[in-house]
C-alpha cells in the first residue's frame, strides 16, 4: 500500500521530448512506472524510445492522450511560461493527479491554475517539486529510485535533495519507506503537508511519518495541529533554516521569513507542542523514527 | 525583486493612479534644483529597499531649496538597516486631511491575491491588523475574475463616508489591482493613501515587489533592478544562475538544493561554527557553475574554510568533482576545501578526487564538523 500512486497508476508525461522530460521518462520507466504516453504539441503520432526497446506514443494534446490511453496521472516538465497552462489542460482532460516538477512558475499563473484544478477535482502536486515515489510501485518525477527501500515509513517534504538525504539515512539504517512525497518549495502548492499526513494516516502500510519542513509560511504549524487532532501514527519532524536571515528568499521561492512569521523556531515550537518529536539535525531523524516505531 | 518608491510610483502613474509629481536626485545639488523647480515645501525621501525610512531619519520636509540640499546631504550615503542610500526622491509637500492604508499581496493560504485596507494609514499595517483587527478590512480576490467593481466599492466604503471620496478610492483600488497583475507583482502597497482638504484622494507613497518568476516575460520591469542595492556577490550569483545569500560567518557553503543548503548551514551552527552564505548550485553540475560558486565564496574575506555538500540525484557527483578540479585550475583558492559527495556516480567522483589528492567524505555530519574545525583553526 502507499499514497496517491501505485503500480496501477497510468502516467502521461507533459513535455516528454524536452531534455529533462526525456531523461526522467526513461528513469521512471526503468523504475517500473507505467508510462502510457507523452504529450508534446506538434509531435503527435511520433513515438518516444524508452529503455529496453519500449515505445511510448506521443500525442499533441492531453485530451487525445487520455482518450487513447486511459491515463489517470500526469507529470509536467514543460518550461515555466507554459506550466500553469499544462496543469489546467491536464485537469480539463480528467487527470486526477497532476505532478508539476517545473521550477520558476509565476505565482499569479498558479493562483488561476490551482483554482481551476480544484474546481475539476484534480490533485496538483507542486509546482517546483521532485514528485513522489511509491517504493516498488511507481515513481512520478525525479526522486532517485535507488536510495529508497520498502518499509513502513512515509516521508513528506518541501525540499528535494534534503528529502534524498533523509530517505538515504533511513534506508541505510534499515528503515524502508511506503511513499516519499516532495510537495514543493513554492509559496503556492497544490498538495500540502496536511493532505499527505491525512493520506498516510489512512494508509495501512504506513506506521510512522517523517515530515521535513522549512522556513516560510505556516503550513507546518497547521500540519502540527492536524497531527495532534487527527492522527494516531507518530510523526517525526525536521525544520530547515534555523540560520536563515529574515526577509531573504533562501533559494525556494516559498522559503522566506516575512515579519515574525515563518521562522524555524516558531515551527519547531508548534511541532513540539503538538507532540511531534523534532530532529535537531538530519542524522537524528533515524533514531527518532526507530523510537517512534518501537 | 523589490522596487524603489520612485519606480513603483512610475508603474502606479502608468496605471492611472493619482500620484503627485516627484523626481529623483543623486546629489545634494540636484535635490536643491528640484526643490526650486517644485517651489514651496518639499519632502526629501531616501530610496532604499527597507521599511522604517522615516524613523531612521531618511524622510525630511524642506521649506527652502537650501534646506532640501542640506537634508539630501545628510540622507545620501546614510545607512538604513544596512543599506546605503544612493538616491533621494524630491516631491512637493502635500496638504493631508486623512491617511489610509491600501495593500494587495499574494496570500499563501488562500492561494489568491488579498486586499487589505485600513483607515489607520501611515503606520505599520501588521501591528494594526494584530492589535486592532476591527480597523482592517480584507478581501480575497478570485484571480479568474479580478477585482469586481462592487468589491472595490466595498473596500473604499470601509475607508470613507463621503461618496465623492469613495468613488475616487474605488477607482484607485481597481487601478492598483490591474497594476499588480499587469506587472507580475507579489505585493503592492499605498501607505499612505491620503485625502486632501479639497477632497482629492492620492497615493503619496508606493511600495511594490515583483515576483522574480515573472521577470523573464517583463523585460521592462526587469530593467528596474537596482544592482547597486544588493551586495556585488549576489549580483554575480544571479548572472551565474546560482541562488546565493551572503551571511556573516566564516564557513563557505556550496550545496545542491535549497533545503539541503539550509540544513547544511544549520548543521554548521550545530557544530559551533557560523555559515558565511547560503548557496544552491542547483540541479545542473555544469563545471562553470562550480567555478562561479567558488569565485563568489572566495571573494568574501571572512571565509576561512569551504565546504561542499552534494547529494547526487539528478546532479552527477563526478561532474561536480570535475567542476571543483577545474575551478582550482582557474582560480587561486586560499581557504581549505572539504568535500562531501554521495549519490549518483559517487564512486567515480571519489576516485577523481583521490587522484587529485582530495579526500571526500560521504557523510554530511563529518564534512560539516571538519569544516567548522578548519574555520576556527
Say which CATH number the domain at B124 has: 3.30.470.20
Give residue A247's pLDDT band: very low, low, confident or very high (50, 70, 90): confident
Mean pLDDT of B177-204: 97
Which residues of chain B are within 8 Å of residue A147 when distances are taken between CB atoms? 343
The long-range contacts involving A283-286, CB below 8 angstroms and separated by at least 24 positions, are: A283/A169, A283/B363, A283/B364, A283/B365, A285/A166, A285/A169, A285/A170, A285/A210, A285/A236, A285/A238, A286/A169, A286/A170, A286/A173, A286/A175
**pLDDT digits over A193-218, tens only?**
999 999 999 999 999 999 999 999 99
Query: Which residue, B247, B128, B105, B84, is CA-closest to B176?
Result: B105
B181-to-B211, B294, B375 alpha-carbon distances in Å = 11, 38, 47
On whether any CB of chain A is under 8 Å from the CB of B241, the answer is: no
Cα–Cα distance for residue pair B175/B173, rounded to 1 Å: 5
CB distance B270–A281 less than 8 Å? yes
Co-location of B245 and B292 in the same domain = yes
Co-location of B255 and B360 in the same domain = yes
Tally of domains within chain B: 3
pLDDT score, position B245:
93
Which residues of chain B are within 8 Å of residue A143 when distances are taken between CB atoms? 313
Co-location of B248 and B155 in the same domain = no
A211-to-A155, A166, A222 alpha-carbon distances in Å = 6, 10, 13
On whether any CB of chain A is under 8 Å from the CB of B245, the answer is: yes
For chain A, the domains span: 10-125, 143-293
CA distance B262 to chain A (A): 5
Whether residue B338 lies inside any domain: the answer is yes
Co-location of B186 and B160 in the same domain = yes
Nearest chain B residue (CA) to A217: B108
pLDDT score, position B151:
98
Which of residues 338 through 357 in chain B touch A, CB cutoff 8 A?
Answer: 342-344
Co-location of B168 and B278 in the same domain = no
Domain boundary, last residue among B92, B114, B149 = B92
Nearest to A108 among B142, B211, B275 (CB): B211
Whether residue B11 lies inside any domain: the answer is no
Cα–Cα distance for residue pair A178/A192, rounded to 1 Å: 18
Q: Fold match between A10-125 and A143-293?
A: yes
Q: Which of B189, B230, B346, B369 is catalytic?
A: B189
Dihedral over Cα of B322, B325, B330, B333: its sign: positive
CB distance A251–B258 less than 8 Å? yes
Whether residue B265 lies inside any domain: the answer is yes
Co-location of B342 and B213 in the same domain = no
Q: Verify whether residue A24 is a known catalytic residue.
A: no
CB distance B245–A245 less than 8 Å? yes
CB distance A114–B111 less than 8 Å? yes
Co-location of B41 and B159 in the same domain = no
Interface with B, mutate which of A243, A245, A267 (most B CBs under 10 A): A243
**pLDDT digits over A78-105, tens only?**
999 999 999 999 999 999 999 999 999 9
Give me the residues paired with residue B43 across strands: B61, B91
Mean pLDDT of B265-286: 90
Model confidence at B234: pLDDT above 90: no
CA distance B165 to chain A (A): 30
CB distance B313–A281 less than 8 Å? no
CATH code (residue B324): 3.40.50.261
Mean pLDDT of B279-300: 85
Mean pLDDT of B64-84: 93
Which of residues 21 through 50 in chain B touch A, CB cutoff 8 A?
Answer: none
pLDDT score, position B82:
78
Whether residue B308 lies inside any domain: the answer is yes
pLDDT score, position B276:
96
Which residues of chain A are within 8 Å of residue B262 when distances are taken between CB atoms? 162, 214-215, 240-241, 243-244, 250-251, 255
Domain A143-293, CATH homologous superfamily name and number: Succinyl-CoA synthetase domains (3.40.50.261)
Domain boundary, last residue among B196, B222, B248 = B222
What grid cell was written down for B184?
507580475
Q: Between the ranges A210-214, A247-251, B117-121, where is the mean pLDDT highest? A: A210-214
Model confidence at A249: pLDDT above 90: no
Nearest chain A residue (CA) to B141: A111
CATH code (residue B87): 3.30.1490.20
Which residues of chain A are within 8 Å of residue B145 when distances are taken between CB atoms? none
What grid cell was written down for A13?
508525461
Q: Which domain does B68 fall in, by range?
A: 21-92
Cα–Cα distance for residue pair A239/B204, rounded to 1 Å: 41
Model confidence at A150: pLDDT above 80: yes
CB distance B143–A158 less than 8 Å? no
Query: Which residue, B114, B101, B97, B90, is CA-closest to B42?
Result: B90
Co-location of B360 and B234 in the same domain = yes
Nearest to A162 among B106, B109, B259 (CB): B259
Q: What is the greatest pairwise CA distance in chain A?
A: 56
Model confidence at B122: pLDDT above 80: no
Options 3.90.660.10, 3.30.1130.10, 1.10.1240.10, 3.40.50.720; CATH for A10-125 is 3.40.50.720
Lowest mean pLDDT among A265-269, B90-94, B279-283: B279-283
Lowest mean pLDDT among A157-161, A250-254, B178-182: A250-254
On whether any CB of chain A is under 8 Å from the CB of B267, the answer is: yes
Co-location of B197 and B86 in the same domain = no
CA distance B169 to chain A (A): 24
Domain boundary, last residue among B189, B222, B255 = B222
Q: Verify whether residue B189 is a known catalytic residue.
A: yes
Co-location of B181 and B110 in the same domain = yes
Interface with B, mutate which of A107, A170, A221 (most B CBs under 10 A): A107
CA distance A119 to chain B (A): 12
Whether residue B15 lies inside any domain: the answer is no
Amino acid at each position: 500500500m502507499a499514497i496517491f500512486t501505485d503500480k496501477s497508476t497510468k502516467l502521461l508525461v507533459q513535455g516528454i521530448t524536452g531534455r529533462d522530460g526525456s531523461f526522467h521518462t526513461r528513469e521512471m520507466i526503468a523504475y517500473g512506472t507505467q508510462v502510457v504516453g507523452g504529450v508534446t504539441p506538434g509531435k503527435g503520432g511520433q513515438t518516444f524510445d524508452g529503455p529496453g526497446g519500449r515505445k511510448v506514443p506521443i500525442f499533441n494534446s492531453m485530451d487525445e492522450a487520455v482518450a487513447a490511453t486511459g491515463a489517470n496521472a500526469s507529470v509536467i516538465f514543460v518550461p515555466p511560461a507554459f506550466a500553469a497552462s499544462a496543469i489546467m489542460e491536464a485537469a480539463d482532460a480528467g487527470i486526477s493527479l497532476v505532478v508539476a516538477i517545473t521550477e520558476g512558475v509565476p505565482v499569479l499563473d498558479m493562483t488561476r491554475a490551482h483554482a481551476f484544478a480544484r474546481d475539476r477535482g484534480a490533485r496538483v502536486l507542486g509546482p517546483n517539486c521532485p514528485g513522489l515515489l511509491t517504493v516498488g510501485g511507481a515513481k512520478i518525477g525525479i526522486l532517485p529510485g535507488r536510495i529508497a527501500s520498502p518499509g513502513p515509513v512515509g516521508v513528506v517534504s518541501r525540499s528535494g535533495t534534503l528529502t534524498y538525504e533523509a530517505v538515504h539515512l533511513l534506508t541505510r539504517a534499515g528503515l524502508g519507506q511506503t511513499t516519499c512525497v516532495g510537495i514543493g518549495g513554492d509559496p503556492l502548492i497544490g498538495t500540502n503537508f496536511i493532505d499527505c499526513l491525512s493520506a498516510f494516516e489512512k494508509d495501512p502500510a504506513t506506521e510512522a511519518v517523517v515530515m521535513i519542513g522549512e522556513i516560510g509560511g505556516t503550513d507546518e504549524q497547521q500540519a502540527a495541529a492536524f497531527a495532534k487532532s487527527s492522527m494516531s501514527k507518530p510523526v517525526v519532524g525536521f525544520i530547515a533554516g534555523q540560520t536563515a536571515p529574515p526577509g531573504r528568499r533562501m533559494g525556494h521561492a516559498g522559503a522566506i521569513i516575512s515579519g515574525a512569521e515563518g521562522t524555524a523556531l516558531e515551527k519547531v515550537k508548534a511541532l513540539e507542542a503538538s507532540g511531534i518529536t523534532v530532529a535537531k539535525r538530519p542524522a537524528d531523524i533515524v533514531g527518532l523514527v526507530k523510537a517512534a516505531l518501537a | 525583486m523589490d522596487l524603489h518608491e520612485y519606480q513603483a510610483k512610475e508603474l502606479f502613474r502608468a496605471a492611472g493612479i493619482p500620484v503627485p509629481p516627484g523626481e529623483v536626485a543623486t546629489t545634494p545639488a540636484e535635490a536643491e534644483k528640484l526643490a526650486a523647480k517644485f517651489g514651496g515645501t518639499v519632502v526629501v525621501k531616501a530610496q532604499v529597499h527597507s521599511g522604517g525610512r522615516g524613523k531612521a531619519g531618511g524622510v525630511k520636509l524642506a521649506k527652502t531649496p537650501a534646506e532640501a540640499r542640506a537634508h539630501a546631504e545628510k540622507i545620501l550615503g546614510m545607512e538604513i538597516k544596512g543599506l546605503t542610500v544612493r538616491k533621494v526622491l524630491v516631491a512637493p509637500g502635500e496638504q493631508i486631511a486623512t491617511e489610509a492604508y491600501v495593500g494587495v499581496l499574494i496570500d499563501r493560504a488562500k492561494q489568491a491575491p488579498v486586499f487589505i485596507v485600513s483607515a489607520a494609514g501611515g503606520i505599520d499595517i501588521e501591528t494594526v491588523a494584530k492589535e486592532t483587527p476591527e480597523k482592517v478590512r480584507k478581501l480575497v480576490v478570485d484571480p479568474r475574475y479580478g477585482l469586481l467593481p462592487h468589491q472595490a466599492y466595498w473596500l473604499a466604503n470601509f475607508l470613507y463616508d463621503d461618496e465623492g471620496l469613495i468613488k475616487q478610492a474605488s477607482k484607485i483600488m481597481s487601478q492598483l489591482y490591474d497594476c499588480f497583475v499587469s506587472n507580475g507583482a507579489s505585493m503592492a502597497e499605498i501607505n499612505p493613501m491620503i485625502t486632501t482638504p479639497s477632497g482629492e484622494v492620492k497615493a503619496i507613497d508606493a511600495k511594490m515587489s515583483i515576483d522574480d518568476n515573472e521577470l523573464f516575460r517583463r523585460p521592462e520591469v526587469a530593467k528596474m533592478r537596482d544592482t547597486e542595492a544588493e551586495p556585488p556577490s549576489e549580483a554575480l550569483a544571479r548572472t551565474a544562475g546560482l541562488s546565493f545569500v551572503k551571511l556573516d560567518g566564516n564557513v563557505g557553503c556550496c550545496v545542491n538544493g535549497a533545503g539541503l543548503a539550509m540544513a547544511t548551514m544549520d548543521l554548521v551552527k550545530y557544530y559551533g561554527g557560523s555559515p558565511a552564505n547560503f548557496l544552491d548550485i542547483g540541479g545542473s553540475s555544469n563545471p562553470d557553475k562550480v567555478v562561479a560558486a567558488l569565485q563568489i565564496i572566495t571573494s568574501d574575506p571572512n571565509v576561512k574554510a569551504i565546504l561542499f555538500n552534494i547529494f547526487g540525484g539528478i546532479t552527477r557527483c563526478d561532474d561536480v568533482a570535475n567542476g571543483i578540479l577545474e575551478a582550482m585550475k582557474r582560480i587561486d583558492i586560499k581557504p581549505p576545501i572539504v568535500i562531501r559527495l554521495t549519490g549518483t556516480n559517487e564512486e567515480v567522483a571519489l576516485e577523481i578526487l583521490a587522484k587529485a589528492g582530495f579526500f571526500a567524505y560521504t557523510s554530511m555530519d563529518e564534512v560539516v564538523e571538519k569544516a567548522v574545525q578548519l574555520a576556527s583553526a
